């Protein structure tokens, strides 16, 4: 799994949205979610582990950080803070069609007041080879893309934009 990076699509969304800078709060596994969901996902018997603290919730945090940074909207001293909880995460490198899904809860606080609290999900399908040497790296790449896609879904949410409006 590659280290998180920003995407041009999300950077453009943020720059065009006239948002105020925000700080990143804590990202963790949602309460009641098995701890194994934060450690890795399995594809045809191969474990995919986050390069960010061996934690998929921290991978989500770093993805958001990179996106805000690329749009010049990251401010560690901001009174507005975005935090989150990884609710569910899965990938399947099945023969024929690979699938992945990701669910997280995002919370925006402004000076100790909750301005936004929403659970968001995204999913993805791709053509998956019979050959594991092709299917597994393809699934890993698509799984990592799910994090950018989920953060993009957050940026598209009008209530999130309102919470971060200048």
pLDDT in tens, 1-24: 889 999 999 999 999 999 999 999
Domain layout of the chain by residue ranges: 8-163
Model pTM score: 0.94
> pLDDT for 75-132, tens place per residue?
999 999 999 999 999 999 889 999 999 999 999 999 889 999 999 999 999 998 888 7
Q: What is the pLDDT of residue 48?
A: 84
Q: Residue 107: how many CB atoms within 10 A of its CB?
A: 17
Contact 163, 110 (CB under 8 A): yes
Asked if CATH classification 3.30.565.10 holds for the domain at 8-163, the reply, yes or no, is no
């Amino acid at each position: 799994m590659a280290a998180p990076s920003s995407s041009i699509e999300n950077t453009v969304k943020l720059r065009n949205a006239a948002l105020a800078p925000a700080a990143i709060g804590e990202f963790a596994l949602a309460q009641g979610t098995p701890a194994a969901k934060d450690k890795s996902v399995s594809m045809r018997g191969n474990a995919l582990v986050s390069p960010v603290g061996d934690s998929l919730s921290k991978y989500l945090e770093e993805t958001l950080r990179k996106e805000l940074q690329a749009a010049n909207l990251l401010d560690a001293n901001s009174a507005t803070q975005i935090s989150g909880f990884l609710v569910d995460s899965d990938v399947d490198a099945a023969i024929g069609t690979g699938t992945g899904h990701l669910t997280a809860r995002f919370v925006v606080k402004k000076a100790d007041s909750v301005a936004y609290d929403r659970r968001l999900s995204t999913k993805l399908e791709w053509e998956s080879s019979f050959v594991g040497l092709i299917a597994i790296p393809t699934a890993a790449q698509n799984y990592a893309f799910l994090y950018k896609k989920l953060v993009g879904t957050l940026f598209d949410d009008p209530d999130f934009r309102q919470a971060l409006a200048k």
